[in-house]
Amino acid sequence: MKIFGISGLGADKRVFKYLTLEHELIPVEWIKPKTKEPIIEYSKRLIEEYGIGNEESFGILGVSFGGLIATEISKLTKPKFTILISSVETRTELSGIIKFAGKSKLIELIPEKLLNPPKVIAHFMFGTENKELLNSILADTDLNFTKWAIRELMNWENQLRIGNLIKIGGTKDKLLPPKGKNTILIEKGEHLMIVDKAKEISKIINERINNALQHRV
């Protein structure tokens, strides 16, 4: 079974190579968003680009901002399961600061070049031991995409909870702290724990998927 993996804001498919899943993982590459394109319309284009839903049996995995896209895609298709890592399921799980910033339209006033934080700040916020990987990802980040993604994150309106959800959050995540009783907590996991806690996360995902599939047999 294929699992379509959607990376986070400022990240790319490199974060998935640390996972050891028992099913085929298909990294979804970001496509260029249209000017002020709504996240739902963007998700529809990714579905078409990758043929998501063409096969009856598939899963969706989203990390950080990619979790928002994964949620929107799951609402439009019928995956066997949806996995969210270091992400949120609904708008109510976003922090008050993020929601306030969205209403203030502050992001529109910030030049793209200021959206690439100094390395020391990025290291603190993402909290990864693999600083070389993070530096490489940040260096390759498209800041126009970053601005679009931050805008969509701040103004995300989804309140619909999705079925067959596997949601994993880190107890030390500074960017999107875990919320909701349905979150599987990773002790000392930070925002980029998909890299640093890959073995533990892979074990959880494999076990949850296998259990879910066995119950359907």
SS (H, E, C) 95-136: CHHHHHHHHHCHHHHCCHHHHCCCHHHHHHHHCCCCHHHHHH
Mean pLDDT of 79-107: 85
3-state DSSP assignment of residue 210? helix
Length of the chain: 217
In this predicted structure, what is the pLDDT of residue 216?
A: 59
In this predicted structure, what is the pLDDT of residue 81?
A: 94
Comparing 68 with 216, the larger pLDDT belongs to: 68
pLDDT at 184 over 70: yes
Mean pLDDT of 99-119: 70
Q: The whole model's pTM is what?
A: 0.92
| Listed range (5-19, 39-53, 58-72) with the worst mean pLDDT | 5-19
Domain ranges in the chain?
A: 2-216
pLDDT at 215 over 70: no
In this predicted structure, what is the pLDDT of residue 113?
A: 67
| Gap between the terminal Cα atoms of the chain | 15
Tokens of 137: 């990802």
Interior CA angle at 174 toward 171 and 180, to 5°? 50
pLDDT at 124 over 80: yes
pLDDT at 109 over 70: no
Nearest to 82 by CA among 93, 72, 90: 72
Fold annotation for 2-216: Rossmann fold (3.40.50)
Mean pLDDT over all residues of the chain?
89
Under 8 Å between Cβ of 34 and 89: no
